[in-house]
């Protein structure tokens, strides 16, 4: 049973560039959430996708956008990168119709903006 996968593992970008991160959810899950985790902090919610639509959004600017595909996989796009966007980006999958609301994280993508 494949868990949550993310790509790439690491990424180095220059300020002002754009980046796309990818996530495939755990088998049987239909919902993907994205989080940003800065060093020493807990994960901060960016947004959640369900049925190919953004279901909820956290307090992040419009530079952060996403997409969910029919196979439930998802992308996170960040435009006009800032130095402060350097962080670990985590994808978590869950089953919205399930009673537990448990979220399972992928290994993350470490983004460094120089």
Partner 1 sequence: QKEVEQNSGPLSVPEGAIASLNCTYSDRGSQSFFWYRQYSGKSPELIMSIYSNGDKEDGRFTAQLNKASQYVSLLIRDSQPSDSATYLCAPIGGSYIPTFGRGTSLIVHP
List of residues contacting partner 1 (CB under 8 A):
33, 35, 40-45, 48, 56, 58, 88, 90, 96, 100-108
Structure tokens at 66: 């996403």
Smaller CB distance to partner 1: residue 45 or 60?
Answer: 45
3-state secondary structure at position 11? strand
Smaller CB distance to partner 1: residue 75 or 95?
Answer: 95
What is the smallest separation between the CB atom of 59 and partner 1, expressed in angstroms? 10
Smaller CB distance to partner 1: residue 17 or 41?
Answer: 41
CA distances from 37 to 2, 41, 104 (A): 24, 6, 15
Distance CA 9, CA 44 (A): 19
Q: Is the dihedral of CA 105, 110, 81, 38 positive or negative?
A: positive
What is the smallest separation between the CB atom of 104 and partner 1, expressed in angstroms? 6
What is the smallest separation between the CB atom of 93 and partner 1, expressed in angstroms? 11
């Amino acid at each position: 049973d494949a868990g949550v996968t993310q790509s790439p593992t690491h990424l180095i970008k220059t300020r002002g560039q754009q980046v796309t991160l990818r996530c495939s959810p755990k088998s049987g899950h239909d919902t993907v959430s994205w989080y940003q985790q800065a060093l020493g902090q807990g994960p901060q919610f960016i947004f959640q996708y369900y049925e190919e639509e953004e279901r909820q959004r956290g307090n992040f600017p419009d530079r952060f956008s996403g997409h969910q595909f029919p196979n439930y996989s998802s992308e996170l796009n960040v435009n006009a990168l800032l130095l402060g966007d350097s962080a670990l980006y985590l994808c978590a999958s869950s089953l919205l119709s399930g009673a537990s609301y448990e979220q399972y994280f992928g290994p993350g993508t470490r983004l460094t903006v120089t």
